Amino acid sequence: MHAPRRKAFNSVNAASLARWIVITAFLALTGLIYVYLSLQLYHLGDRKKTLENELTSLRAQNDVASVQIAALTSRSAMQRRLKEGYLKMIPVSEHNIVRLSAPSGPRGEDAVQPVANKRAGR
C-alpha cells in the first residue's frame, strides 16, 4: 500500500511579512500625503494669484476714485458748479464764528498758566 506521505508546507515567517506590510503601508501613506500636499499647494497658488490680481484691480480702482475726488473737489470744479447753480453757498454770519485768542490781560492767582518744568540733570 501507500506509504504515508508527509505533506510539505512552505513556512512563512510572520514577523518578516508583517514588517514588509508595515513598510509598504507607510510608503503608500507617505506618497498619498505628498500628492495631496502638492495638489493643495497648486490650488493655493492659483487662489493667491487670483487674490493678487483682485488686489491690483482694487488698487487701480482706488487710484481712479482718488483722481475723481480730487477733480470734483478742486477749486475750479467747485466754482464751475457754483456758476451752474448746482451748489448754493451762503455767507457765514458773524455770530456763528468762534474766535480763539490768548488773553492779554494780567493773570490772576487762580488762572491756568502754561508751565515749563526743567528736569534736573543727572
Helix, strand, coil % over all residues of the chain, rounded to 5: 60, 0, 40
Q: pLDDT tens digits, residue range 39-94?
A: 999 999 999 999 999 999 999 999 999 999 999 888 888 888 889 988 888 888 99
C-alpha cell at 106: 494780567
- The domain spans of the chain are 14-88
Under the banding of pLDDT at 50, 70 and 90, the label for residue 98 is: confident
Rg of the chain over Cα atoms, rounded to whole angstroms, equals 44
